[in-house]
Amino acid sequence: MSSASVSVPPDLTKIHIEDCLKRVRAFLGGFFIVDTRKAKLVWEHQWYPQYYFPNNELPSKFLDDDSKQSLPDGATKYDIVVGDKRAPGAVIVFGDSNGELTGLFKIGYNSMERWFEEDEQVFVHPKDPYKRVDVLQSSRHVRVEVHGVEVANTHKPRLLFETNLPVRTYIPQTDCKLELLTASDLQTPCPYKGVASYYHVQTGPDRKAENVVWWYRNPNVECVAISGYYAFYDELVDIWIDGEKQSRPKTHFVFR
C-alpha cells in the first residue's frame, strides 16, 4: 500500500479545520437559523470539534444589529433574535485579522434549542470523526470496592473503549450490591452514548461516595449493549481486574 493512500489523523493539539460532509441545521424559536451542506468542523482544542460556517451562510435576518460587539481579536459578536426568543452573543463573525478563521462564523452550540446532522439530532457537541466507541463483551473478573466494601463482582463485564479515554467497565446490575446504591439527581449527556443517570454508594451511616456510579437507561444505538449496565467511576473507587488492582486513571475532564 502506498503512503499516499494511508489516512493520517490531523494534529488536533492546534487549531484544525476541515469540511463537514453532513447537512447541518440549527433550530431556535421555530426556525432553522442555519441550514447548510457547507459547514466546517473546527477543533479549537483536541477534545472535540465545533461547527463553523462560511459567511455567505450568515443568518442576517436573525441578527440584532443593536447588540453588535467588537471583540479584542477583531471578531464581531451578535445576539440572535427570533420572535420573543433571544440568544445573547450567539454568533461570532471572524474578520480579516482572525487568520484561518477569516471568512467564517460560529453559532454557540448551547445557544440553540436543537442541532441536526442530516435528520438525526445531535447532543452536547458535534461528533468527532476521529473518535470511535466500541462495546465488547468480556469474561474478565472485575471486582469493585468503595471505602473497603465490595460493591460489585462479576465475570460478565462489558468494556467500553472510547478513543483517547480510559476503558470503562460496565457491570450487570445483578452483579452489583444494589442495596448500597442510592439514586442521585445528577444527569450528564454524551453525544456518543446518550444521557447518563447516577447513583451514590452508601457504605455506612456516615460514609457516602457521591455520583460514583452511572448508567444509561436508553443509550444511543452505537452503545446499546451497555443498556442497564452500571459503570463505576474508576478515578474514585478501587477496582481489581483478574486479581490485579488497577491504578486510578487521570483525565483532564470528567468523561463518562
Total length of the chain: 256
Backbone angles phi and psi of 109, in degrees to 5: -60, -45
Distance CA 103, CA 197 (A): 41
What does the mean pLDDT of the chain come to? Answer: 92
169 — pLDDT class (breaks 50, 70, 90): very high
Confirm if 244 and 219 have CB atoms less than 8 A apart.
no
Instruction: Quick: pLDDT tens for 87-110.
Output: 999 999 999 989 999 999 999 999
Q: Is pLDDT of 23 > 50?
A: yes
What's the pLDDT tens digit per position in 107-158?
999 999 999 999 999 999 999 999 999 999 999 999 999 999 999 999 999 9
The proportion of the chain whose per-residue pLDDT surpasses 90, expressed as a percent, equals 85
Contact 80, 111 (CB under 8 A): yes
Whether the pLDDT of residue 6 is over 60: the answer is no
- Taking alpha carbons only, the member of 151, 123, 125 closest to residue 213 is 151
pLDDT at 13: 78
pLDDT for 164 equals: 85
Q: What is the DSSP letter of 141?
A: -
- Across residues 59-68, what is the average pLDDT? 94
pLDDT tens track for 182-230: 999 999 999 999 999 999 999 999 999 999 999 999 999 889 999 999 9
**CA torsion angle for 8, 14, 15, 21 (degrees, to 10)?**
20
Confidence of residue 8 (pLDDT cuts 50, 70, 90): low
Domains of the chain as residue ranges with CATH: 3-122 (2.170.150.40), 133-245 (2.170.150.40)
pLDDT of residue 142: 98
- pLDDT of 1: 43
